[in-house]
Amino acid sequence: MTVIMGILEEGLIYAVMALGVYITYKILDFPDLSVDSTFPLGAALTASAILAGVSPALTLILSFLAGALAGCVTGFIHVKLKVRDLLSGIIVMTGLYSLNLRIAGGRANVPIFTQETIFENPFLAEHVPAPLSPYVIVLILFLITLACKVLLDLYLNTRSGYLLRAVGDNEALVTSLAKDKGMVKIIGLALANGFTALAGSVYCQHKGFFEISVGTGTMVIGLASVIMGIQLLTPETGTSPFSSVFKKELRPTTAVIAGSVLYKACISAAISLGLEANDLKLITSILFLIILVVSTERRKKVKTHA
Amino acid sequence: MLKLNNINKYYNTGTVNEICLFEDFNLSIEEGEFVSVVGSNGSGKTSMLNIICGSIPVDSGTIYIGKENITHMPEFRRLRRIGRVYQNPAMGTCPHMTILENMALADNKGKPFNLRRGTDKKRVDSYRESLKTLGLGLEDKLHVKVGVLSGGQRQAMALLMSAMTPIEFLILDEHTAALDPKTAEVIMELTDQIVKSKHLTTIMVTHNLRYAVDYGSRLLMMHQGQAVMDKAGREKTAVKIEDLLERFNAISVECGN
Ligand SMILES: Nc1ncnc2c1ncn2[C@@H]1O[C@H](COP(=O)(O)OP(=O)(O)OP(=O)(O)O)[C@@H](O)[C@H]1O
Ligand SMILES: [Mg+2]
């Protein structure tokens, strides 16, 4: 039971970030490496802000805004300075590393165990009945993730959201609509990194500390979740296991969240097979490789069927 | 009025492949004119349209719409008053969005792309009506992703989408080339209807000499970056397909093949 709860908690935290990666990778078609630094950006900002007495819930919004700003910088470098997508992300990622350290007060590790967080505060202590308390963390995470998902779904169905989807699909059409495709990309990157930093903030409050290296591999985790969720649950052609059972297509955002939980389950399974926590990044990358290879295999099969 | 003055355009500048496509190219199109453009492959038709729309920069020369110099205006600003259908059918629609979503996108051109609903439910019927004019049955597939449509179906949709909102210019690059003969006929009629009802200044590139002769108020033949034939008014009405063919042949003899 605790294992399952652990997987759910981790999966839901990273799901918010995976939604961000879904925006860049799937919608914008932009491999954005800056998420590796905006995740710790959210964490650093949250740790410092909470220590300074800012309300934990407010840090979520602050982190989102900070991440969005960083996303704008990546977008600006790519769109206005015409640097290649991958490199723009790397530039921001590298630069933010130092900035994150500064935000954390020059320390690579900032504990906030004793502070109030969105998971531990007098309000919850007072209002949550005792039998529910083991589930309260998962519940809160679920609500946050759900809120992000619903907001993103709503946004993607607005005029602005349509434009965002269009720019990754066919840039020329956005230009035909007399809109600056560069601006649309910047908005997308801002949103994506906003979500990522928000996830970083949740992560920091959940773990009770900020640590400078928490961001390493964020993009890989996000990509793995996105590809796993989308490929397994919403294939573009043919039927997914989900659609054959429920006679309905799953929304991609839901699939991404499921993918994130699934991915954490795989990691957890790998660790329970006897691999150590030190091997985590190795497991992460190998699992990612497997997912990539399997998903291209599947795609090939779909193509030859068609 | 649209005016290209002394346009020079080189490709691959500074490399061994450098070619001069346009040298002191001039063109003036009156308001309300419907110009059909013919010419062999590589004669510079698409490049001319790209220069007008700002998809590619010119090396020198100026471009005017009316009294406004638009030579350095970015492409997306120019396209505000221009509707364009590209030679490549994939460029006019979004494959991962549904037919309905594509129509709604096009319908929002010129309006702010804010947080209002992407698809206005009240407009759906009118989208259905205009899709019906294509005669391709697309009106019954509103929720189908455009990516699964054929190239011709997409190109037909692209025409509808390009002229959905108020524009002044319509730029068509072989927009019937991907269509079967019957559909091409339907789309060509529809084009003429749109141009007339909206009083659009139109440039239509085509390899179909009959369309070039039958439609439009002016005819341009391009060759190696020059307009080698330019007929308007009664002269244009008198042009026959045979005249065009003859001219084509004369040109290729000149070129030594
Ligand atoms: N981006 C480019 N880089 C280099 N050369 C180019 C480029 N675009 C066009 N050209 C060259 O310019 C010439 C004119 O090309 P353009 O596409 O305008 O021809 P076209 O008249 O539209 O031909 P088609 O009938 O085949 O569409 C060709 O010789 C082509 O090779
Ligand atoms: Mg062409």
The domain spanning residue B177 has which CATH number?
A: 3.40.50.300
- Closest Cβ opposite residue A169 in set B75, B95, B106: B95
Which pLDDT band, with edges at 50, 70 and 90, does A244 fall under?
Answer: low
Task: Evaluate whether residue A246 is within a structural domain.
Answer: no
Instruction: Please report which confidence band the pLDDT of residue A39 belongs to, taking 50, 70 and 90 as the band edges.
Output: very high
Question: For A18-23, what is the mean pLDDT?
Answer: 98
Q: Which of A228 and A235 is assigned the larger pLDDT?
A: A228
Do residue A176 and residue B95 have CB atoms under 8 angstroms apart? no
Q: How far is B27 from chain A (nearest CA, A)?
A: 23
Instruction: Please give the interface size between A and B, counted as residue pairs whose CB atoms are below 8 Å apart.
Output: 82
pLDDT at A301: 56
> How would you class A269 by CB atoms within 10 Å of its CB: exposed for 0-12, middle for 13-18, buried for 19 or more?
middle
In a domain, A148, yes or no: yes
The number of beta carbons lying within 10 Å of the beta carbon of residue B26 is 13
Give the per-residue pLDDT at A90.
96
Q: What are phi and psi of A177, to 5 degrees?
A: -80, 10
Burial B30-39 (b: 16+ CB within 10 A, else e): eeebbbbbbb
Plot region of A178 (φ>0 → left; ψ -120 to 50 → alpha; else → beta): left
CA gyration radius, chain B: 19
Which amino acid, one-letter code, is at B153? Q
Asked whether residue B164 is domain-assigned, the answer is yes
In a domain, A206, yes or no: yes
Average pLDDT over residues A215-230: 92
Tell me, in angstroms, the distance from the centre of ligand 2 to residue B121's CA.
37
Give the number of C-alpha atoms closer than 13 A to the C-alpha of residue A114, restricted to the C-beta side. Answer: 2
pLDDT score recorded for residue B256: 59
Question: Does the beta carbon of B206 sit less than 6 angstroms from any atom of ligand 1?
Answer: no
Band (pLDDT 50/70/90 cuts) for residue A306 is very low
Closest by CA position to A25, among listed A203, A223, A268, A213: A223
Cα distance between residue B151 and residue B93, in whole Å: 10
Would you say residue A254 lies in a domain? no
Could you tell me whether strands A109-111 and B19-29 are parallel, antiparallel, or unpaired per DSSP bridges? unpaired
Instruction: Say if CB A48 and CB A300 are below 8 A apart.
Output: no
Query: How many domains does chain B divide into?
Result: 1
Residue A13 belongs to some domain of the structure? yes
Our answer on whether the CB atom of B83 is closer than 6 Å to any ligand 1 atom is no
H helices, E strands: number in chain B: 9, 10
pLDDT(A249) > 90: no
- Residue B94 in contact with partner chain A when CB distance is under 8 A: yes
Indicate the length of chain B as a whole number. Answer: 257
Pairing of strands B169-173, B19-29: unpaired
Q: How many helices (H) and strands (E) does chain A have?
A: 13, 2
Nearest CA in chain A to B88: A172
pLDDT in tens, B27-81: 999 999 999 999 999 999 999 999 999 999 999 999 999 999 999 999 999 999 9
Q: Which helix (H) or strand (E) holds A305?
A: helix A280-305
Is the model's pLDDT at A299 over the cut of 90? no
pLDDT band at A239 (very low <50, low <70, confident <90, very high): low
Domain carrying residue A50? 2-216
- Between CA A267 and CA A273 the distance in angstroms is 10
| Residue in the block written with tokens 């496509």 | B21
For ligand 1, atom 29, name the residue with the nearest CA. B42
Give per-residue pLDDT as tens, B75-120. 999 999 999 999 999 999 999 999 999 999 999 999 999 999 999 9
Determine the pLDDT at residue A237.
47
Q: Would you place residue A131 in the very low, low, confident or very high pLDDT band (cuts 50, 70, 90)?
A: confident
Contacts of B146 by beta carbon, 8 Å cutoff, 6+ apart: B93, B94, B95, B96, B97, B98, B99, B102, B154, B157
Q: Is the dihedral of CA A216, A218, A220, A224 positive or negative?
A: positive
Q: Is residue B46 part of a domain?
A: yes
> Which positions in chain B touch A181 (Cβ < 8 Å)?
76
- Residue A102 in any domain: the answer is yes
Confidence (pLDDT) at A48: 97
Would you state the pLDDT for residue A188? 98
- The answer, yes or no, to whether any atom of ligand 1 lies below 6 A from the CB of B225, is no
Q: Distance (Å, rounded) from C-alpha A213 to C-alpha A47?
A: 14
Collect all residues of chain B within an 8 Å Cβ-Cβ radius of residue A170.
90-91, 93-95
Counted domains in chain A: 1
Looking at residue B222, its amino acid is M
Verify whether ligand 1 is closer than 6 Å to residue B21 (CB atom). yes
Residue type, A255: A
Report d(CA A199, CA A148) in Å as an integer: 10
Which residues form the domain of B66?
A: 2-93+151-254
* B8: phi then psi, degrees, rounded to nearest 5: -115, 130
A181/B105 Cβ within 8 A = no
Calculate the average pLDDT of chain A.
91
Q: What is the mean pLDDT of residues B191-208?
A: 96
- E-strand spans in chain A? 109-111, 209-211
Query: CA-to-CA distance for B20 and B12, rounded, in angstroms?
Result: 9
Q: What is the mean pLDDT of residues A185-194?
A: 98
- pLDDT of A17: 97
Question: What is the C-alpha to C-alpha distance for residues B206 and B219, in angstroms, rounded to an integer?
Answer: 11
Atom of ligand 1 nearest to the CA of B40: 25
From the CA of B56, how far away is ligand 1's center (Å)?
12
Q: Which residue has the higher pLDDT, A241 or A7?
A: A7
Distances (CA, A) of A80 to A22, A166, A212: 23, 20, 30
Indicate if ligand 1 lies below 6 Å from the C-beta of B11.
yes
- Which candidate, A167, A188, A191, places its Cα nearest to that of A179? A167
pLDDT the model gives residue A297: 67
Mutate to test the pocket of ligand 1, among B7, B9, B10, B11 (most ligand atoms within 8 A of CB): B11
Distance in angstroms (rounded) separating the CA atoms of residues A143 and A150 = 10
pLDDT digits (tens, 9 = 90+) for A61-103: 999 999 999 999 999 999 999 999 999 999 999 999 999 999 9
Q: Which of B79, B104, B110 sits opposite A162 (nearest CB)?
A: B104
Q: Flag if B101 and A162 touch (Cβ within 8 Å).
A: yes
Q: Which residue of A has its CA nearest to B103?
A: A162
The reply to whether ligand 1 has any atom less than 6 angstroms from the CB of B42 is yes
Answer whether residue A54 is part of any domain: yes
Is B176 a pocket residue for ligand 1 (Cβ < 6 Å)? Answer: no
Question: Which chain B residues have a beta carbon less than 8 Å from that of A165?
Answer: 94, 96-97, 101
Atom of ligand 1 nearest to the CA of B50: 18
CA of B222 to the centre of ligand 1 (A): 12
Note whether B91 contacts A: Cβ–Cβ < 8 A.
yes
B140 part of a folded domain: no
- Cβ-based interface (< 8 Å): residues of A facing B: 155, 157-163, 165-166, 169-170, 172-181
Q: Judge if ipTM > 0.90.
A: yes
Q: What is the pLDDT of residue A302?
A: 53
Distance from C-alpha of A257 to C-alpha of B231, rounded to nearest angstrom: 62
What integer pLDDT is reported at residue B122 of this predicted model?
Answer: 96
Q: Give dist(CA A43, CA A103) in Å, integer.
A: 10
- Most informative mutation of B8, B45, B204 for ligand 1 (most atoms within 8 A of CB): B45
- Pairing state between β A209-211 and A109-111: antiparallel
Query: How do residues A261-295 score in pLDDT, each as one tens digit?
Result: 999 999 899 888 888 878 888 888 888 898 888 87
Please check the confidence at residue A134 and state whether its pLDDT lies above 90.
no
